[in-house]
Amino acid sequence: NAGVTQTPKFRVLKTGQSMTLLCAQDMNHEYMYWYRQDPGMGLRLIHYSVGEGTTAKGEVPDGYNVSRLKKQNFLLGLESAAPSQTSVYFCASRQDRVRSNQPQHFGDGTRLSIL
């Protein structure tokens, strides 16, 4: 059981380039999340989805777009990459629609550098 898989694992971009990060989960989870992790700031929520076809903004959504066309996939797009978007990006999923306190299951991250 793979859990949450993120691709690519590493990427270097030039300022202004665009790219898409892919997150796939095989646990049939309803909720999916994209975070960025920067030193001393923990994890900050970029966008999230509570089901197929739905997305919502998190704490730091500017400069990013997302899509959830299929339940198992959650894509994060950078429209025009900026050096401030250099970070480690984590995808997570969560099972339950009704109960709170459910854990989030994380991928191993995508390390993105913008030059």
Partner 1 sequence: TQLLEQSPQFLSIQEGENLTVYCNSSSVFSSLQWYRQEPGEGPVLLVTVVTGGEVKKLKRLTFQFGDARKDSSLHITAAQPGDTGLYLCAGEKGATNKLIFGTGTLLAVQP
Binding site for partner 1 (CB under 8 A): 4, 31, 33, 35, 40-45, 48, 50, 58, 90, 92, 94, 100-101, 103-104, 106-109
CB neighbourhood size of 32 (10 A)? 28
Residue 33 vs 74, nearer CB to partner 1:
33
- The residue type found at 35 is Y
Residue 17 vs 72, nearer CB to partner 1:
72
Minimum CB distance to partner 1, residue 42 (Å)? 4
Minimum CB distance to partner 1, residue 21 (Å)? 14
1 contacts 104 by C-beta, under 8 angstroms: no
Minimum CB distance to partner 1, residue 75 (Å)? 18
Residue 80 vs 93, nearer CB to partner 1:
93
81 contacts 71 by C-beta, under 8 angstroms: no
CB neighbourhood size of 16 (10 A)? 10
36 contacts 42 by C-beta, under 8 angstroms: no
